[in-house]
């Protein structure tokens, strides 16, 4: 999705609210699972709203209720290709809210990604917030994408400034729309490479940066470094410089295990120790994205683990 005008943004907020009123709910799966489900017999055309706004299937007249169809046209999110109408966005459920993001397949270099890792990341952030005893006045979600984590923080820290940071203007647009639809305040979308264009310190920094090796260079997926760890380490470095006393980092990312060694863990914990941060590290899932091991970029990898790093600056 591309950056849009204010009137279109208003229409998209209205669309999300109208979709919510129907009781709509949809859990977005990985692109690999999505492809498998959509390849099944009978999945060529949408049969209900979940197929239209969740599974990104083309739809015929009568599938979308007239009021919602009108809202979709006003928001400019319907395209017609070879006589088939299709939504150009998806809408997913998480934390009691609906989130707008890019339609399947998310192949564009500026796609706004939302998937199972979003759910895992937000759950890690919510868990940290439930355990934290220090107030949050200012927070940042680095690589915010749809804004899901930042919005979860804003819901639980009323009055806090929550900066949605992304290098992708389309992501900042989606985050602003999703925040408005959720009715939360304090959200400040800012375009920046990490925190380079943003001043000040933060009580909380959260991030789910890209951590794969992606040959297409898609911003939501390519992490850089030898095995995709480059951006994740850069987030740790940024947090080490910008956390206020008592401030903490919650980093949800992937780590490639090579020869039984977690190189990212070693590097990240070393950065934290040198910066005087108290860190905890755990594997959230020891084996994810197994299909990626077929890629030559992962020829030396044992597995790809999903991990959570929490680092706190002493008060």
DSSP states of 177-208 as a string?
Answer: HHHHHHT---EEEEE-STTTT--S-EEEEEE-
* 130/275 Cα distance (integer angstroms): 25
Give a yes or no: residue 107 inside a domain.
no
CATH number assigned to the domain comprising residue 206: 3.40.50.150
Residue 109: inside a domain: no
> Within this chain, do residues 123 and 83 fall inside the same structural domain, yes or no?
no
Q: Which of the two residues, 183 and 217, has the higher pLDDT score? A: 183
Query: What's the Cα-to-Cα distance from 196 to each of 167, 213, 237, 238, rounded to whole Å?
Result: 11, 24, 12, 9
C-alpha angle 84-90-95 in degrees, rounded to nearest 5: 155
**149, part of any domain:** yes
Query: In terms of residue numbers, what domain contains 192?
Result: 116-312
* Mean pLDDT on 125-143: 96
Helical residues (DSSP H) of 39-191, grouped into ranges: 49-53, 66-75, 116-131, 148-156, 169-182
Helices H / strands E in the chain, number of each: 9, 12
Given a cut of 60, whether residue 223 has pLDDT beyond it is: no
Geometric angle at alpha carbon 24, from 97 and 34, rounded to 5°? 90
- Do 98 and 120 fall into the same domain? no
- Residue, of 151 and 134, whose pLDDT is higher: 151
| 205 and 246, same domain (yes or no) | yes
Last residue of a domain, one of 102, 134, 165: 102
Q: Are 175 and 242 found together in one domain?
A: yes
Mean pLDDT for 121-133 is 97
Confirm whether 108 is domain-assigned: no
Q: Determine, yes or no, domain membership for 226.
A: yes
Q: How many domains does the chain have?
A: 2
Q: Is 42 helix (H, G, I), strand (E, B) or coil?
A: coil
Is residue 280 located within the same domain as residue 201?
yes
Q: Are both 302 and 205 inside the same structural domain? A: yes
Query: What digits encode the pLDDT tens for the residues 16-27?
Result: 999 999 999 999
**Amino acid 109: pLDDT:** 84
Q: Mark whether 59 and 208 lie in a shared domain.
A: no
The chain-wide mean pLDDT, for the chain, equals 94
Q: How confident is the model at residue 5 (pLDDT cuts 50, 70, 90)?
A: confident
| Judgement on whether residues 88 and 144 belong to the same structural domain of the protein | no
**Measured at the alpha carbon of residue 230, what is the angle toward residues 227 and 236, in degrees to the nearest 5?**
130
CA distances 66 to 49, 71, 72, 75, Å, are 12, 9, 10, 14
Q: Are residues 90 and 138 in the same domain?
A: no
Indicate the range of 14-28, 145-159, 292-306 predicted with least confidence.
292-306
- Tens-digit pLDDT profile for residues 40-84: 999 999 999 999 999 999 999 999 999 999 999 999 999 998 889
Predicted TM-score of the model (pTM):
0.94
Dihedral sign, Cα of residue 258, residue 264, residue 266, residue 267: positive
Q: Are 258 and 275 in contact (CB under 8 A)?
A: no
Residue 155 within any structural domain of the chain: yes
Strands 138-142 and 161-166: parallel
pLDDT over 70 for what percent of the chain? Answer: 95
């Amino acid at each position: 999705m591309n950056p849009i005008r204010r009137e279109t943004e208003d229409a998209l907020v209205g669309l999300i609210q109208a979709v919510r009123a129907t009781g709509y709910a949809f859990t977005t799966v990985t692109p690999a699972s999505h492809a498998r489900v959509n390849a099944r017999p009978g999945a060529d055309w949408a049969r209900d709203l979940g197929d239209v706004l969740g599974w990104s299937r083309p739809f015929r007249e009568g599938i979308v209720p007239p009021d919602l169809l009108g809202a979709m046209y006003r928001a400019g999110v319907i395209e017609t290709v070879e006589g088939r109408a299709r939504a150009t966005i998806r809408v997913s459920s998480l934390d009691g809210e609906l989130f707008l993001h890019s339609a399947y397949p998310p192949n564009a270099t500026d796609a706004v990604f939302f998937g199972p890792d979003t759910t895992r990341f937000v759950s890690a952030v919510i868990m940290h917030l439930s355990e934290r005893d220090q107030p949050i006045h200012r927070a940042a979600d680095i690589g915010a994408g749809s804004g899901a984590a930042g919005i979860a923080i804003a819901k639980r820290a009323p009055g806090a400034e929550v900066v949605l940071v992304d290098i992708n203007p389309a992501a900042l647009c989606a985050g602003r729309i999703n925040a408005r639809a959720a009715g939360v305040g304090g959200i400040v979308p800012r375009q920046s490479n990490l925190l380079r264009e943003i001043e000040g310190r933060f009580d909380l920094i959260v991030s789910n940066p890209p951590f794969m090796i992606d040959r297409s260079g898609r911003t939501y997926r390519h992490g850089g470094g030898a095995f995709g760890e480059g951006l994740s380490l850069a987030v740790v470095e940024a947090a080490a410089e910008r956390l206020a006393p008592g401030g903490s980092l919650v980093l949800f990312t992937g780590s490639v295990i090579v020869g039984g060694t977690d190189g990212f863990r070693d590097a990240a914990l070393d950065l934290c120790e040198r910066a005087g941060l108290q860190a905890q590290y755990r594997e959230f899932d020891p084996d994810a994205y197994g299909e990626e091991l077929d890629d030559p970029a992962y020829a030396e990898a044992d597995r790809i683990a999903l991990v959570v790093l929490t680092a706190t600056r002493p008060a």
